[in-house]
């Protein structure tokens, strides 16, 4: 993670300029809050997102992260002013500036918690990077997805990399080459959106998802997501041996022991996240 546990411990003492962070019932709700700039991603908002996700990673009380956007646009992608060298020095954000360069496409690496993006508004360009990092994307039927970089002489390199992890190569290339707007239905059928719902059902669907996730073992989910990430560095012939070792480690955790005892006693487990 970009930030350490010690840095994020006092998250409530910090001022966030462009996101709203709310913690409640094991859920960390993160809302993009730069509506006048259509939630465009500049260096400040990216730094704030990295800080919030680092906090979620270290805090065992957080079992799921939700990602929302204020205003009429969920995210317009990268802030062109930032690409042209402009630096936002008077935002009022108190999030520390790190020497490490924060790459938007890597923001969710190492989170090891379910992250649900809820989309009811248009998503553009680099906003796809946020969706690509989430485990779930719940989209309302009226939402749209536009990847128009080629119309401005730019190729969406990082978005392409994120999409190649979740969509067939030909479909990704088609999206990058055509540079048009896709409906929520098309995004769902292509794999970018994991769940497509009626506009009126968006909030209730998110509530159902978070409820279900929070009732499952946070330790099992955390170590399972970590294993998915670690497997990318493990040769195919060694993966089952690697995963068996991880299973044996998981069985020794407090949550695994509690889960098995609760099953025998026919009661609901009391998860601790350990």
Interval 60-89: pLDDT, tens: 999 999 999 999 999 999 887 776 677 888
Region 129-151: mean pLDDT is 96
Percentage, residues of the chain above pLDDT 70: 99
Q: How far is CA 248 from CA 224, 240, 241, 244, 260, in A?
A: 13, 12, 11, 6, 14
Region 149-162: mean pLDDT is 94
Confidence of residue 100 (pLDDT cuts 50, 70, 90): confident
Confidence of residue 243 (pLDDT cuts 50, 70, 90): very high
CA 249/CA 130 separation, integer angstroms: 31
Q: Are strands 64-69 and 115-119 parallel, antiparallel or unpaired?
A: parallel
Name the average pLDDT for the chain: 94
Contact 131, 123 (CB under 8 A): yes
Region 160-189: mean pLDDT is 96
Confidence of residue 90 (pLDDT cuts 50, 70, 90): confident
Contact 216, 258 (CB under 8 A): no
pLDDT in tens, 179-223: 999 999 999 999 999 999 999 999 999 999 999 999 999 999 999
Q: How far is CA 178 from CA 75, 87, 128, 149, 186, in A?
A: 20, 32, 16, 10, 14
pLDDT for residue 249: 96
Burial of 152 (0-12, 13-18, 19+ CB in 10 A): exposed
Contact 18, 33 (CB under 8 A): yes
pTM: 0.93
And the tokens for 157? 């390199």
Contact 147, 187 (CB under 8 A): no
CA 274/CA 40 separation, integer angstroms: 37
Region 12-16: mean pLDDT is 95
pLDDT for residue 125: 93
């Amino acid at each position: 993670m970009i930030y350490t546990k010690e840095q994020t411990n006092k998250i409530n003492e910090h001022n966030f300029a462009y996101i709203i962070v709310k913690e409640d019932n094991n859920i960390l709700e993160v809302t993009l809050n730069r509506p006048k700039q259509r939630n465009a991603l500049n260096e400040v908002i990216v730094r704030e997102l990295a800080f919030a996700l680092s906090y979620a990673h270290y805090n065992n009380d957080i079992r799921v992260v939700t990602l929302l956007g204020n205003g009429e646009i969920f995210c317009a992608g990268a802030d062109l002013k930032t690409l042209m060298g402009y630096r936002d020095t008077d935002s009022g954000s108190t999030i520390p500036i790190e020497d490490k360069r924060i790459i938007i496409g890597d923001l969710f690496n190492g989170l090891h918690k379910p992250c649900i993006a809820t989309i009811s508004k248009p998503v553009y360009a680099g906003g796809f990077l946020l969706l690509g990092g989430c485990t779930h994307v719940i989209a309302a039927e009226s939402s749209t997805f536009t990847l128009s970089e080629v119309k401005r002489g730019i190729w969406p390199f990082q978005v392409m990399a994120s999409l190649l992890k979740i969509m067939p190569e030909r479909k990704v290339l088609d999206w990058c080459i055509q540079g048009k707007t896709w409906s929520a239905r098309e995004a769902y059928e292509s794999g970018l959106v994991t769940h497509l719902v009626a506009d009126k059902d968006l909030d209730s669907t998110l509530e159902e998802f978070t409820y279900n996730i929070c009732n499952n073992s946070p330790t099992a989910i955390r170590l399972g997501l970590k294993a998915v990430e670690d497997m990318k560095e493990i040769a195919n012939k060694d993966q089952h041996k690697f995963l068996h070792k991880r299973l044996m480690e998981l069985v020794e955790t407090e949550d695994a022991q509690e889960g098995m005892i609760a099953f025998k006693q026919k009661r609901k487990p009391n998860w601790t996240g350990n």
